[in-house]
Amino acid sequence: MKKLFLQIGFIARTEAQYFARYPKLLLAAAVIVLVPALYAAIYLSSMWDPAAKTGDLTVAVVNLDAGVKYHEHDFNVGEEVASRLQESNRFGFKNY
């Protein structure tokens, strides 16, 4: 185990010498670390709470269902679906 730590220390010292000798290498390493971190921060902030403001999102509801009469009963599934969507208040539904 001690040999492992000695090897890790040797590698760390060698890398530190490279960074001291070549400053552009330090800049390249920083970019390699920061670009994916920036991407992850932007992505995660956009997905943090996607359902928080869906009521502000306008959604069109187009109901072209004319309904059907079957065995003396009227069926209009489109009207039922549209009314249930509007009752849910998940989005800002507009009828067209």
DSSP codes joined into one string, the chain: -HHHHHHHHHHHHHHHHHHHH-HHHHHHHHHHHHHHHHHHHHHHHHSS-TTTTGGGSEEEE------EEETTEEE-HHHHHHHHHHHHTSSEEEE-
pTM over 0.85: no
pLDDT in tens, 45-95: 877 776 677 777 788 888 888 878 888 888 888 888 888 888 887 777 777
